């Protein structure tokens, strides 16, 4: 068993899984360590909105009994995991940051939760989100704001806000996030973590984004992804090895094409041809973010043996089309009914979005623009193995605002112009820590793969992590 100096909460998921199987540490010890860490920190960060200590301890005892009996256990046996509160959990309330769902307890698990449980992972609670996952921020009217571990006066990003804050501070080694426009990658960048959005359809979604029983929550069918947020690339690969693969409840899920998620980390990337677009050719980017990302990109050429070229895919800013795509895929009838019911108890920006007078022409233009972006990207990616961009145009900004008023001298600039493009195209994309500012704030680098090349993104991520490791860097306020 562990000695007093062994801080379980600092362990990676892969390490916990290995040590549980080796009987060096018990599932009960691991879960108790996670719950103690949550009890110590959650009041300061608001990462978890619902905790499940009784369930978690019971599951730990069940896994421990299986080990004691010599029974086979899954690859995540005894590993604590946090589940984003947009992802349905059987018997555990799923509020989605919305007063209309304050008492909603699902009667079935999402596919990914089923698979995590079957692999032996132990759910310790649900993590805070923006209301119905609409914004890239970290708060909602029901539970309030999730704070950034690197500076609690700043946003954690969202909508997978609590999942990122939990992983960044060792409350759990990894967490489930979801991403309809950047909601895995945005909080990962703001919180100094690795977040992976696999190819569209690689991780099946049901029932949250596929079931008409959940008005307001269902929708975003062609742009939503579920995936890992973790402190290491290997932990994200480990989670993907469990949650990826087809399911007949998701008509968009991809067949298993033999991806070995863990082996994808091996082999290096020497000789790859990489494009670097620091601004898509039109976006405003904070100068310090650009400098840090420039330095990170240089590692690919100097240390990893790649050829890097400055190049843009060549599309115009499709932000308006993306907004219309969300509206098209939202359950507008159900969500507008909720908005009328809640009135001022709904997030103002979400209410404005729902009340906007969307037209058939808006939706038709969105479809045409999406096709144009996808065509520009596949043509561009035929010349390159990978594409690098900043994850976000700025570092984390203060709680209580929707974004900075200026970026690099430009007013009302979009602070998240890079992430949603890959939801329109469905390509695999990850945010990886590029470095930290002089003020100690994380900056993310986005690594984008060709269509369906999830393994290439993981391999590039692992290579960069080996060249510029960050996993031992903890937010100073929460390092002990």
Q: What is the mean pLDDT of residues 313-340?
A: 94
Q: What is the mean pLDDT of residues 457-480?
A: 96
Specify the 3-state DSSP secondary structure of 469.
coil
Angle (nearest 5°) at CA 423 between 422 and 429: 45
Integer-rounded Cα Rg, in Å, for the chain is: 21
Specify the 3-state DSSP secondary structure of 187.
helix
Q: Which residue has the higher pLDDT, 217 or 443?
A: 443
Residue 331: predicted pLDDT: 86
CA pair distance 317, 283, nearest whole angstrom: 8
Q: What is the mean pLDDT of the chain?
A: 95
Beta carbons within 10 angstroms of residue 58's beta carbon:
13
Confidence of residue 70 (pLDDT cuts 50, 70, 90): very high
- Give, as one character, the DSSP assignment of residue 219: B
Specify the 3-state DSSP secondary structure of 196.
strand
Beta carbons within 10 angstroms of residue 350's beta carbon:
24
Are the C-beta atoms of 318 and 370 separated by less than 8 Å?
A: yes
CA pair distance 307, 275, nearest whole angstrom: 8
The 10s digit of each residue's pLDDT in 180-209 is: 999 999 999 999 999 999 999 999 999 976
Confidence of residue 3 (pLDDT cuts 50, 70, 90): very low
The 10s digit of each residue's pLDDT in 371-399 is: 999 999 999 999 999 999 999 999 999 99
Specify the 3-state DSSP secondary structure of 359.
coil
Would you state the structure tokens that stand for residue 369, as one six-digit string? 């623009």
Q: Which residue has the higher pLDDT, 1 or 97?
A: 97
Q: What is the mean pLDDT of residues 264-291?
A: 98
Residue 1: predicted pLDDT: 43
Confidence of residue 5 (pLDDT cuts 50, 70, 90): very low
- Secondary structure E strands in 283-322: 307-310
The 10s digit of each residue's pLDDT in 90-118 is: 999 999 999 999 999 999 999 999 999 99
Evaluated on CA atoms 187, 244, 327, 344, the torsion sign reads negative
CA pair distance 99, 105, nearest whole angstrom: 13
Residue 4: predicted pLDDT: 40
Are the C-beta atoms of 122 and 63 separated by less than 8 Å?
A: yes
Of all residues in the chain, the percent with pLDDT exceeding 90 is 93
Specify the 3-state DSSP secondary structure of 293.
helix
The 10s digit of each residue's pLDDT in 241-251 is: 999 999 999 99
Residues marked active site are found at 84, 159, 183
The 10s digit of each residue's pLDDT in 409-429 is: 999 889 999 999 999 999 999
Classify strands 442-449 and 48-51 as parallel, antiparallel or unpaired. unpaired
Are the C-beta atoms of 52 and 117 separated by less than 8 Å?
A: no
Residue 212: predicted pLDDT: 67
Q: What is the mean pLDDT of residues 223-230?
A: 97
Are the C-beta atoms of 2 and 24 separated by less than 8 Å?
A: yes
Are the C-beta atoms of 29 and 88 separated by less than 8 Å?
A: no
Would you state the structure tokens that stand for residue 213, as one six-digit string? 């029983």
What are the sequence ranges of the domains in the chain? 8-478
Q: What is the largest CA-CA distance in the chain?
A: 65
For residue 277, what are the contacts with CB-CB under 8 A and spacing of at least 6?
310, 311, 312, 313, 387, 388, 389
Evaluated on CA atoms 287, 169, 174, 92, the torsion sign reads negative
Fold type of domain 8-478: Amidase signature (AS) enzymes (3.90.1300)
First to last CA, the chain: 21
Would you state the structure tokens that stand for residue 118, as one six-digit string? 């079957």
**pLDDT at 215 exceeding the cut of 70:** no
Of all residues in the chain, the percent with pLDDT exceeding 70 is 96
Helices marked H in 46-122 — which ranges? 53-68, 111-118
Helix, strand, coil percentages, rounded to 5, for the chain: 40, 15, 45
Q: Which residues are paired to 209 by β-bridges?
A: none
Q: Among the listed ranges 14-18, 328-332, 343-347, 430-434, which one has the minimum average pLDDT value?
A: 328-332
Phi/psi for 387 (5° steps) reads: -125, 135
Confidence of residue 278 (pLDDT cuts 50, 70, 90): very high
Phi/psi for 84 (5° steps) reads: -60, 140
Residue (of 5, 3, 7, 4) closest to 472 by Cα position: 7
- Give, as one character, the DSSP assignment of residue 224: -
Classify strands 225-230 and 174-179 as parallel, antiparallel or unpaired. antiparallel
CA pair distance 376, 380, nearest whole angstrom: 6
Evaluated on CA atoms 109, 110, 115, 120, the torsion sign reads negative
Residue (of 429, 452, 462, 451) closest to 182 by Cα position: 429
Residue 412: predicted pLDDT: 80
């Amino acid at each position: 068993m562990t000695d007093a100096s062994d801080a379980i909460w600092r362990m990676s998921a892969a390490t916990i899984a290995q040590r549980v199987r080796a009987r060096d540490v018990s599932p009960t010890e691991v879960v108790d360590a996670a719950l103690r860490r949550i009890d110590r920190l959650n009041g300061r960060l608001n990462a978890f909105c619902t905790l499940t200590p009784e369930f978690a301890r019971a599951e730990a005892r069940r896994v421990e009994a299986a080990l004691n009996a010599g029974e086979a256990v899954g690859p995540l046996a005894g590993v604590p995991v946090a589940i984003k509160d947009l992802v349905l959990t059987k018997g555990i309330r799923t509020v989605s940051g919305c007063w209309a769902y304050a008492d909603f307890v699902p009667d079935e698990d999402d596919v990914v939760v089923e698979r995590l449980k079957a692999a032996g992972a132990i759910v310790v609670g649900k993590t805070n989100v923006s209301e119905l996952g609409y914004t890239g921020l970290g708060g909602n009217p029901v539970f309030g704001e999730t704070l950034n571990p690197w500076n609690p006066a700043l946003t954690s990003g969202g909508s997978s806000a609590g999942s990122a804050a939990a992983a960044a501070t060792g409350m759990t080694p990894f967490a489930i996030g979801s991403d309809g426009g950047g909601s895995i990658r945005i909080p990962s960048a703001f919180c100094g973590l690795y977040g992976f959005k696999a190819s569209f359809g690689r991780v099946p979604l049901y029932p949250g984004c596929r079931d008409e029983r959940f008005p307001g929550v269902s929708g975003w069918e062609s742009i939503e992804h579920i995936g890992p947020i973790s402190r290491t690339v290997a932990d994200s690969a480990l989670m993907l090895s469990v949650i990826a693969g087809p399911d007949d409840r998701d008509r968009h899920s991809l067949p298993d094409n033999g991806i070995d998620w863990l082996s994808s980390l091996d082999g290096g990337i020497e000789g790859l041809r990489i494009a670097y677009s620091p601004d898509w050719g039109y976006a405003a980017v904070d100068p310090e973010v650009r400098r840090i990302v420039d330095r990170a990109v240089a590692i690919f050429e100097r240390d990893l043996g790649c050829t890097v070229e400055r190049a843009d895919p060549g599309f115009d800013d499709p932000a308006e089309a993306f907004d219309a795509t969300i509206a098209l895929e939202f359950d507008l009838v159900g969500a507008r009914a909720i908005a009328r019911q809640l009135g001022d108890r709904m997030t103002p920006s979400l209410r404005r979005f729902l009340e906007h007078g969307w037209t058939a022409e808006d939706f038709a233009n969105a479809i045409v623009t999406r096709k144009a972006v996808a065509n520009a990207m596949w043509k561009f990616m035929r010349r390159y193995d990978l594409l690098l961009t900043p994850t976000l145009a700025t570092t984390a900004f203060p709680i209580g605002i929707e974004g900075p008023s200026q970026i690099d001298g430009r007013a009302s600039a979009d602070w998240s112009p890079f992430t949603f493009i890959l939801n329109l195209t469905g390509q695999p994309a990850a945010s990886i820590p590029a470095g930290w500012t002089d003020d100690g704030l994380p900056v993310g680098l986005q690594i984008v793969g060709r269509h369906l090349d999830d393994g290439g993104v993981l391999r590039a991520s692992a290579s960069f992590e080996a060249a510029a490791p960050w996993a031992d860097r903890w937010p100073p306020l929460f390092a002990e």
